[in-house]
Amino acid sequence: MLALHRHYCLSRATSVSAFSVSRRTPLRSVGWNKRFPTSSRNTFSCAFLFQLVSLSSLQGSVGASLGASASAASTSHSTTLKRDTRSSSTSSMGSYYRADGVRITHDPYAAGMSTKYGEQGDTDPEGFDPYADSVGPGIYGGYVKRDANDNVVTGKQYQNHNPTPGPVYAGGGYTEMSKAISAGGGPALQALVARDAAIVHEITTGGATPLHMCGMSQRGQKATRQLIDAGADVEALDTYGYTPLMRMASNNLADGARELLIAGAEAGRMASSTGETAMSIARASRASEVMAVLKDYA
Rounded-to-integer distance, Cα 177 and Cα 202, Å: 8
The pLDDT value recorded for residue 274 is 87
The candidate with the shortest Cα–Cα distance to 143, out of 165, 181, 174, is 174
The parts of the chain modelled with pLDDT lower than 70 are 1-94
- Supply the CATH classification number for the domain 19-296: 1.25.40.20
Looking at residue 99, its pLDDT comes to: 81
**Strands of the 103-104 sheet, one edge to the other:** 82-84, 95-97, 103-104
pLDDT of residue 51: 33
pLDDT at res. 197: 98
At 248-277, the pLDDT tens digits run 999 999 999 999 999 999 999 999 878 999
Q: Quick one: pLDDT at residue 257? A: 98
CA 297 to chain centre: 24
How far apart are the C-alpha atoms of 187 and 272, rounded to whole Å? Answer: 34
The C-alpha angle with vertex 227 and arms to 221 and 233, in degrees rounded to 5, equals 105
